[in-house]
Amino acid sequence: MFATIWEEFGFRGASILLGLVLGAIIARLVARWQRHCERRRILKGDARDTVVIAHHIVETEDDDTGRPRPHALRIRSLGQDQLARVIPNGHLACVFAHRAAHVTPRHTLISMDGAEGSYLLETLTNFVCDRVGNHAFDHDLYVMAPCCEPSGLAHHQPITVLLISVADLMLFEEWATCRDVQTEHRSDGPRVLTLLEMARRFKEEQAQLRELRAKGEKTQYVETMYLLDLALDKRSTPVPTRPIPWLRYETVLKEMGFA
């Protein structure tokens, strides 16, 4: 009887031990493969697993007619977090990542269409307000929209939540008024193109919302950008700025009709 028990125990014990060893080996191989994939993504600049909040400070000057035009664009980061922490709902996080992966150099704003886009905007609003709310600065009305500038425009490609005051965004409605804007880094040029698209779409969207509200019709899922009442610090140290080398982005400028 003892021989039978020992034989059975020995066989099961060996099976369990073998399973543990194989499991550990497989887990290690999977972990190494994940690290390898993450390294490849980093080398390509793909940082879409990160969500960054970017505040845009615009310095203006008057043109020949006395109208203000953007002279310098300063981008200030207000924080970042992992995508999974910003959007805890797994389905919405996958949708957001999928949409971020399908931006193009011509269209860098992440689609916020439909019911899922509306939920994403609500979630991003809470993320932004949690990070920047309740500061003792002057309040202003800001436009919030997510974007991802792909490899054709930028080397580092996180998901960026854009924040810019309505008044400043309107300065980017026309290419002629903002082509000479300067930035602290030459690589910030694509952000000017993003703001150009953002200003155009915001103006069209607000006109559509006003029309629907005047008719008493629903505006559900129409908004793809949110207006937020925020108190952000608009002060900045006068870091030297420089012109944007637009020749780097000649292909995109041609697609947008600016070259």
Q: What pLDDT digit, counting tens, does each position of 47-105 carry?
A: 789 999 999 999 999 888 888 899 999 999 999 999 999 999 999 999 999 999 999 99
**Is residue 143 predicted with pLDDT exceeding 80?**
yes
Mean pLDDT score, 209-214 = 94
Question: Looking at residue 33, what is its pLDDT?
Answer: 77
Neighbours of 122 (CB within 10 A): 12
Query: Angle formed by the axes of helices 90-100 and 114-132, to 10°?
Result: 100
Mean pLDDT score, 203-220 = 93
Q: Quick one: which of 187, 108, 118 has its CA closest to 146? A: 108
Lowest mean pLDDT among 35-44, 116-125, 154-163, 248-257: 35-44
Q: Which strands sit side by side in the sheet containing 226-231, from one edge to the other? A: 226-231, 139-147, 157-165, 46-62, 68-82, 182-183, 242-243
The residue ranking higher by pLDDT, 210 or 65, is 210
What does the alpha-carbon distance between residue 87 and residue 112 come to, in Å, rounded to a whole number?
14
**Is residue 3 predicted with pLDDT exceeding 90?**
no
Question: Looking at residue 157, what is its pLDDT?
Answer: 86
Question: Looking at residue 55, what is its pLDDT?
Answer: 97
**Is residue 18 predicted with pLDDT exceeding 80?**
no
- Which residues, other chains included, contact 69 with Cβ-Cβ below 8 Å and sequence gap of 6+? 60, 61, 62, 63, 171, 177, 178
**Is residue 185 predicted with pLDDT exceeding 60?**
yes
Cβ atoms of residues 60 and 71 within 8 Å = yes
Cβ atoms of residues 46 and 155 within 8 Å = no
**Is residue 1 predicted with pLDDT exceeding 80?**
no
Mean pLDDT score, 215-226 = 92
pTM of the prediction?
Answer: 0.84
**Is residue 9 predicted with pLDDT exceeding 60?**
no
Q: What does 82-127 look like in DSSP terms, one character per residue?
A: EHHHHS--HHHHHHHHHHHTT--SS--BPP--HHHHHHHHHHHHHH
The residue ranking higher by pLDDT, 34 or 137, is 137
- Which residues, other chains included, contact 157 with Cβ-Cβ below 8 Å and sequence gap of 6+? 45, 46, 47, 48, 148, 149, 150, 151
**Is residue 140 predicted with pLDDT exceeding 70?**
yes
Cβ atoms of residues 108 and 148 within 8 Å = yes
